[in-house]
Amino acid sequence: MIFHPLKIDLIELYTSPTPNGHKISIALEEMELDYEVKAIDLMNNEQKTKKYLKICPNGRIPAIVDTNRNNFSVFESGAILLYLAEMSGKFCPNEPFKRNEVIQWLMFQMGGVGPMQGQANVFFRYFPKKIQAVIDRYQNETKRLYKVLDTQLKGKDFICNRLSIADFATFPWVNIHEWSGVEIDDLKHLSAWVERCRERKGFQAGLEVPIKIEIQSEEEQREAEKAAQKLLQK
């Protein structure tokens, strides 16, 4: 299937400073699309309001509204990335086999890296009771998935050779590997890819949407963990 790029005037981006949110802001920056940030306050359950649920029935971030197409809304980060790629004609090939390869690695992130590392975050950082067997389970599985990526990246600058939505989806998660308690120093291809992505202006700008998050001190780390624990209780 060949997609012909269409004009995109303005995308409304509903987001928060999380890996899933950063997938979309990075994509919008790299695609050089005009967008307006609509920050969602997760701490105050803004994602559960009736107004937002009309945009995203699942009550999660991110979501977008395409104001150029009768305010068409899209939720789920993978679906948003595919939509933006199709509408812009960028970062997802038209050639069927190359396109399918990108989609395979996008699904690898959606069904593997994101869920496993997300649970590693929860049990390593946020869960009130430390259950080491559970922490090990999710950290080890995250590391296994990282090794798959490391093998795929051998001899490549990006996951599917050329920069694609697969990179936009995967980078925000691997970028916070230390927060998840998973090291990548022994994975040289993955480590080089992370640095390569970090050097791109679009990635740098996308990571600052809706706000720039920097956790430097132990006190800031504890506050971040307390905030996340509150979210778990909602």
- Which pLDDT belongs to residue 223? 67
* pTM listed for this prediction: 0.92
Domain boundaries, position 66: 11-88
Mean pLDDT of 32-49: 97
β-sheet bridge partners, residue 162: 160
Of the two residues 158 and 219, the one the predictor is more confident about is: 158
> Do 110 and 53 fall into the same domain?
no
**What is the residue whose two structure tokens read 């132990």?**
218
How high does pLDDT run on average in the chain? 93
Structure tokens that stand for 210 in this block: 């809706």
- Which pLDDT belongs to residue 2? 46
Of the two residues 227 and 63, the one the predictor is more confident about is: 63
Q: Does 169 map to a domain?
A: yes
Report the number of distinct structural domains present in the chain: 2
Residue 32 CA from chain centroid, whole number = 18
> Do 55 and 36 fall into the same domain?
yes
> Do 103 and 182 fall into the same domain?
yes
Q: Is a pLDDT exceeding 70 seen at residue 1?
A: no
Reported as a single tens digit per residue, the pLDDT across 77-133 is 999 999 999 999 999 999 999 999 999 999 999 999 999 999 999 999 999 999 999
> Do 104 and 199 fall into the same domain?
yes
